[in-house]
Structure formats: structure tokens, C-alpha cells
Homo-oligomer: A and B are copies of this chain.
Amino acid sequence: MVLVRHEIGEVLRDIRMSKRQTLRQVAARAAVALGYLSEIERGQKEVSSELLFSIAEALDVPISQIMREVSDRLATAEGINIPDTIPAELFDSVNGSLLNLR
């Protein structure tokens, strides 16, 4: 089962790490308990829309950008992503060729 909260948690953590912020700093600015933010990042707790708004503000990132990244990762989890430059059929035939060369 593909769960949105797992991807939201990972994305929030990745953004925080990329901005070199600690859990404590973001939790303080978003006015959320440190332990709760940690559970959200680990995908253990659902995040309410209001809290996601506060966390996005604390990270200085638009919510739309967070959800866009979540959507991309969900697509991968759902096996929907196809390499941009190689059509699926071609990719299969390339794999086939590689197999044939062995």
C-alpha cells in the first residue's frame, strides 16, 4: 500500500537536511513539538493541513513544491515513472539486446 505520509515525511526531512536545519530549529519555528515533527518525518504520524502549512513556512518552501516532490516520489513508488528520454518499449528492447549479447 502506497502511503502519502511516508513520502511527505521523507520530503520534509530531505528539505530540512538540505537547508542544514535541525529538528529543533524547524519544530520551534513551526510551533510543533520536536517529537511530533520527528514522527511526521518518519511517516509515523499524519500531518494536518494547518501543521503542514506551518512546517512549510518554517522551511521557507511553498507547499506546492513539497507536494510536487511528494507526487513525483509516489509515481516512482507506484511504478509509473518512465525514463524521460527512453520510451518504455525501446527500454525493453535495449534490455533485450543486452540480454541477447550475453
Using a CB–CB cutoff of 8 Å, the interface residues on chain A facing chain B are 1-6, 46, 48-50, 52-53, 62-65, 67-68, 70-72, 74-75, 77-78, 80
Contacts and interface: CB of A to CB of B under 8 A. Distances in A.
Given A3-B49, A46-B48, A71-B71, 9 more contacts: A2-B53, A2-B63, A4-B49, A62-B80, A63-B74, A64-B72, A64-B77, A65-B80, A67-B70
* Secondary structure class of chain A's binding surface, majority of residues: helix
10 contacts: A1-B50, A1-B53, A3-B50, A4-B49, A46-B48, A62-B74, A64-B72, A65-B71, A67-B74, A70-B71
Nearest to A56: B2
Contacts of A5: 49
Nearest to A79: B62
Given A2-B53, A53-B3, A64 B78 contact: yes
Which of the listed residues A50, A53, A65, A68 has the most CB atoms from chain B within 10 Å of its own CB?
Answer: A68
A99 to B, nearest CB: 29
